[in-house]
């Protein structure tokens, strides 16, 4: 008696070529899913690291308890006549005195631009005896003598503006450390004269004709700002001149307080209207609130990418589990036959785990390679983080993705090793033939 096994063996191999093609497609799908999840996790990790650095950087001054507001001057202030300039400066001087007298106010200041660190006004710098082919870009601020005390910028050398300097519109200038390092690397800048190209503009010349060379009288500590083309906080060369040297219509006032700064805004408005009923406060807020508003853009980008990365990771884990489970079901006969031929359970386990880990490892390698393209795309959003730093991007991503994928392989493949050899045999009964 012998069983006719040959047709059954041939039948069990039907569709082998088609099965190979589909198994290759499934393997490519698993690798692609792992690579995509790696890219998303690395992108989220870079933005998270960037956001933490952005919010924790030392700006060089304390933004807490600083109120600011902008005045909306009526048309009568919008001419460039010398008399109008005197009227603007007189309004500024009187308002600063009234603000300083309010309870809870410790210091006050005026400036002709956005409050730091969001001021982007810059000009070319000209220094006698120091020719240069490219513009020497310097951030500049026209401010009152209380500007440095209000922001808490310490004087390092020389002196600050006095009230007489401001009221007399003297051609004096205070610079920061970055200005001194860049333009006077091997000499003392105090006493030198510099020219700010912006004061050669027709508007300034008509408003306040004067010699545009300013004498450096003091050096203050750096504070950080940002530029339009670079999102990271940096210490740019900065120059500060008395607000009275030109007739900017843009007048912004600051006050450092010992109480909640928002509670004093109403009192500030009353002082403004008492001086001139036609002058109104157009914009107001706190310096700390402005920074928080500024951080909302990067925070939203981080939350969006992190959300997609989390959803993508969940979908990838589910997809990989399904694909691998189906792949395992196709290997039932092979595993059963190996077990029937005497293979140990641990040997079979190592074999099938190796296949799963090869797919995951391949996806991780492709994902790491593809992440360089993503980090270049995010370069304009990354502050203070190297896009190729493995400690801040790739290693955390691997720590997150490796455990669930490894667990999937183990859980999925361990069930294979428990297959009985009998279960691997075809369910169709064998037809026996008796030979006489």
Q: Which residue has the higher pLDDT, 135 or 421?
A: 135
Read off the pLDDT of each residue in 75-96 and give the average, rounded to a whole number.
Answer: 75
Least confident of 36-40, 66-70, 190-194, 380-384: 380-384
| Confidence label for 1 from pLDDT (cuts 50, 70 and 90) | very low
Q: Which two tokens stand for residue 282?
A: 């157009």
Q: What is the pLDDT of residue 196?
A: 86
66 touches 288 (CB < 8 A): yes
CB 16: neighbour CB atoms within 10 A?
A: 9
Q: Which residue has the higher pLDDT, 229 or 373?
A: 373
Q: What is the pLDDT of residue 105?
A: 93
b/e for 243-269, b at 16 or more Cβ within 10 A? bbbbbbeebbbbbbbeeebeebbeebe
Phi/psi at 285 (nearest 5 deg)?
A: 170, -170
Q: Which residue has the higher pLDDT, 54 or 162?
A: 162
Asked whether the predicted pLDDT for residue 6 surpasses 70, the reply is no
The domain locations on the chain are 2-57+295-433, 74-278
> Average pLDDT of the chain?
76
Which range, 18-22, 44-48, 272-276, is most confident?
272-276
Least confident of 32-41, 197-206, 289-298, 304-313: 197-206
Q: Which residue has the higher pLDDT, 169 or 321?
A: 169
Asked whether the predicted pLDDT for residue 99 surpasses 90, the reply is yes
Least confident of 17-31, 237-251, 360-374: 17-31
**Of 272, 288, 41, 277, the residue nearest 151 (C-alpha):** 288
Q: What is the pLDDT of residue 114?
A: 74
Helix (H, G, I), strand (E, B) or coil at 278: coil
CA 24 to chain centre: 40
Read off the pLDDT of each residue in 277-286 and give the average, rounded to a whole number.
Answer: 85
Q: How far apart are the first and last CA of the chain?
A: 9
Read off the pLDDT of each residue in 383-393 and give the average, rounded to a whole number.
Answer: 57
| Confidence label for 379 from pLDDT (cuts 50, 70 and 90) | low
Q: What is the pLDDT of residue 300?
A: 80
Asked whether the predicted pLDDT for residue 200 surpasses 90, the reply is no
């Amino acid at each position: 008696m012998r069983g006719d096994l040959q047709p059954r063996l041939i039948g069990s191999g039907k569709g082998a070529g088609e099965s190979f093609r589909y198994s290759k497609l499934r393997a490519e799908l698993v690798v692609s899913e792992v690579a995509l999840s790696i890219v998303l996790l690395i992108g989220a990790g870079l933005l998270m690291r960037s956001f933490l650095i952005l919010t924790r950087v030392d700006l060089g001054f304390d933004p807490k308890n600083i109120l600011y507001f902008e005045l909306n001057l009526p048309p009568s202030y919008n001419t460039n006549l010398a008399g109008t300039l005197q009227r603007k400066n007189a309004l500024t001087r009187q308002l600063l005195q009234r603000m300083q007298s309010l309870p809870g106010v410790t210091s006050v200041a005026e400036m002709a631009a956005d409050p730091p660190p969001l001021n982007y006004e810059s000009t070319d710098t000209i220094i006698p005896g120091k020719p240069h082919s490219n513009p020497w870009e310097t951030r500049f601020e026209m401010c009152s003598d209380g500007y440095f005390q209000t922001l808490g910028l310490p004087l390092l050398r020389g002196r600050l503006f006095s009230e007489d300097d401001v009221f007399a519109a003297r051609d004096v200038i205070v610079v920061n450390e970055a200005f001194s390092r860049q333009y006077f690397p091997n000499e003392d800048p105090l006493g030198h004269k510099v020219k700010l190209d912006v004061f050669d503009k027709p508007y300034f010349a008509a408003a306040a004709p004067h010699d545009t060379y300013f004498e450096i009288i003091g050096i203050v500590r750096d504070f950080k700002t940002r530029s339009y083309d670079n999102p990271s906080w940096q210490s740019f060369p900065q120059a500060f001149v008395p607000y009275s040297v030109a007739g900017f219509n843009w007048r912004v006032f600051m006050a450092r307080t010992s109480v909640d700064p928002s509670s004093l805004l109403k009192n500030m408005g009353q002082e403004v209207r008492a001086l001139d009923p036609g002058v109104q406060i157009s914009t107001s807020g706190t310096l700390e609130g402005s920074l928080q508003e500024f951080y909302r853009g990067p925070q939203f980008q981080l939350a969006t990418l992190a959300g997609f990365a989390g959803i993508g990771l969940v979908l990838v884990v589910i997809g990989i589990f399904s694909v691998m489970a189906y792949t395992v079901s196709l290997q039932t006969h092979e595993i059963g036959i190996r077990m029937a031929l005497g293979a140990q359970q641990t040997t079979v386990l190592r074999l099938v785990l190796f296949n799963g880990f090869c797919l995951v490892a391949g996806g991780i390698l492709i994902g790491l390679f593809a992440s360089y393209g993503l980090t270049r795309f995010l370069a304009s959003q990354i502050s203070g983080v190297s896009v190729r730093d493995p400690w801040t991007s790739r290693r955390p991503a691997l720590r997150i993705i490796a455990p669930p994928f490894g667990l999937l392989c183990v859980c999925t493949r361990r069930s294979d090793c428990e297959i009985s050899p009998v279960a691997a045999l075809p369910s169709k009964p064998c037809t026996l033939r008796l030979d006489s």
